[in-house]
Amino acid sequence: MLHRNSIRKYGRDNIARTATGCGSPSTKGKACRGRSLPVMLMLAVWLALVGAMGWAIADEKGTKPPRPDDRTLELGRLVYEQNCAICHGTLGGGRGMPSMMLRIKPRDFRSGNFKFRSTPTGSLPTDADLFETVSRGLRGTGMIGQEFLPEGERWAVVAYLKTFSERFEREKPQAPVPIPKPPPRTPELIARGRELYQMAECFKCHGAEGRGDGPSATDLKDDWGYPIQATDLTRPPKRGSAPESIYRTMVTGLAGTPMPSYEGALSDEEFWTLSFYVASLNTGVLSARQRREEAAGQHVLRMHGGRGPGMMRRMPMMR
């Protein structure tokens, strides 16, 4: 409610100021207010025309972009600036001030590369994928779930963060990779999973016992240039511990990281076998490092989030 009110206020003030110069001290007063109505009307008609033309052109080419209305984007911008910009940067560059405290750096949204998708490798994520990440957060990282935000605000912030990458204007996300029904979990399935884990060479990065210490796991870098570790599979994974989540990670890969997609390389049954095996390695206990990352995220939320004092939100070096 608070956000919506402030939008209305922001919108009105802004249009009045830019259209008539009423904000300047010399034009304050009645005469100024009288002039603003026709100017605003003309502005509204012009905006509507330009909007309709853009839409018609987009339609003709058959590449209709998702069209969140201006109010949604404006709400998204407010939610973003109050809750996300501190880490992800006002311009989405991922260089917020707390990134110094975080070993796993906040995402740079400009490339349009997202790790946690339901869509095939190379595709953009769906809105639902982004909504899920924002709501649930990523375990063991500074990305804390934002379920305290009303749902409408979470959808709005998703629409807004897509504006940082022009890929979302040019491309559409592909259809999510279907995940079939799981087989029953049996001891034989887990034993077979252990073999598959070796055969599919997961051990090369994740280590023979899944501790993230495989022979190829040294000096790995992500596409944003930061060092990255192969996940210690005895700890809760970022996307959550359910076998379905592990299935999704294997079949889609994690864009921007060395974690490849195995789509087409393994059968549905093999995916499930591996997923159950990997899930069985998970002790459910966060490592000290994961706890530190989450604590840093919680601290930022308390100090600078929408409900905190928020004093460091708009510093130019945090973009």
Binding residues for ligand HEC, rule: CB under 6 A, are 83-84, 86-88, 98, 102, 104-107, 114-116, 130, 133-134, 138, 141-143, 146, 157, 161, 200-202, 204-206, 216, 220, 228, 230-231, 237-239, 246, 249-250, 254, 257-259, 262, 274, 278, 297, 300
Specify burial of residue 251 (Cβ count, 10 A radius: 0-12, 13-18, 19+): buried
**Residue 53 CB, nearest distance to ligand HEC (Å)?**
31
**Residue 9 CB, nearest distance to ligand HEC (Å)?**
22
**Residue 314 CB, nearest distance to ligand HEC (Å)?**
15
**Residue 190 CB, nearest distance to ligand HEC (Å)?**
13
For ligand HEC, the closer CB: 20 or 114: 114
For ligand HEC, the closer CB: 173 or 297: 297
For ligand HEC, the closer CB: 22 or 233: 233
Whether the CB-CB separation of 194 and 206 falls below 8 Å is answered with no
- The DSSP code sequence of 184-200 is P--HHHHHHHHHHHHHT
Q: Which of 191, 174, 200 lies closest to 271, judged by CA?
A: 200
For ligand HEC, the closer CB: 22 or 279: 279
- The DSSP code sequence of 20-84 is H-TTSGGG-SHHHHHHHHHHHHHHHHHHHHHHHHHHHHHHHTT-------HHHHHHHHHHHHHHT
**Residue 72 CB, nearest distance to ligand HEC (Å)?**
14
Q: Which two tokens stand for residue 94?
A: 């991922």
For ligand HEC, the closer CB: 77 or 239: 239
State the Cα–Cα distance between residues 311 and 220, nearest whole angstrom.
Answer: 36
In angstroms, how far is the first alpha carbon of the chain from the final one? Answer: 28
**Residue 24 CB, nearest distance to ligand HEC (Å)?**
35
**Residue 283 CB, nearest distance to ligand HEC (Å)?**
14
For ligand HEC, the closer CB: 20 or 249: 249
104: left (phi over 0), alpha (psi -120 to 50) or beta: beta
For ligand HEC, the closer CB: 38 or 152: 152
For ligand HEC, the closer CB: 16 or 294: 294
Helix (H, G, I), strand (E, B) or coil at 150: coil
Consecutive H or E run containing 249: helix 243-252
Whether the CB-CB separation of 274 and 265 falls below 8 Å is answered with no
**Residue 168 CB, nearest distance to ligand HEC (Å)?**
12
